[in-house]
Structure 1
Amino acid sequence: MPIHEDKRCPRCSNVFECKAGSIAQCDCSKIVLSLEERAFIEDKYKDCLCLNCLKDLKNKYVFFKEKYFG
């Protein structure tokens, strides 16, 4: 049986359910991140983030990339 656990997002402190035992059902599988976006996020956070924070950081990376490299 897949293991799910409640986690606290290290960015916003909201509690969310991590479904690493069934990754296809996990919220993080609902967002597509490029390798650069993943590196941008992994540079700042070492644990799972909630879906809202993942979406926000993806948008921040796009803004950063357009501002400084676009």
Structure 2
Amino acid sequence: MVERAEQIVAELSANAALHGRVQLKGNASHTAHRVRHAGILIHQHALALDQEPAGLLADVEEVARRMRAG
């Protein structure tokens, strides 16, 4: 995860973006990480890929809702 986080921070910095998102396999709750001294906020979402299609679709819709909300 550390390597992925470093890659996300590098990409956000290069593009002067202040928000980024990463989707992970699993069922952890949404969480956000602020990068100190960079003004960057990384949102972490997890999707349980082994669930029924309707449940997965509901989870993807929830991620989309959070993205629209900012």
Task: Pick the TM interval, shorter chain.
Answer: 0.3 to 0.5
Looking at both structures, which has the greater relative contact order when contacts are Cα pairs under 8 Å and sequence separation is at least 6?
1
Structure (1/2) with the larger strand percentage: 2
TM-score using structure 1 length: 0.34
TM-score using structure 2 length: 0.34
Structure (1/2) with the larger helix percentage: 1
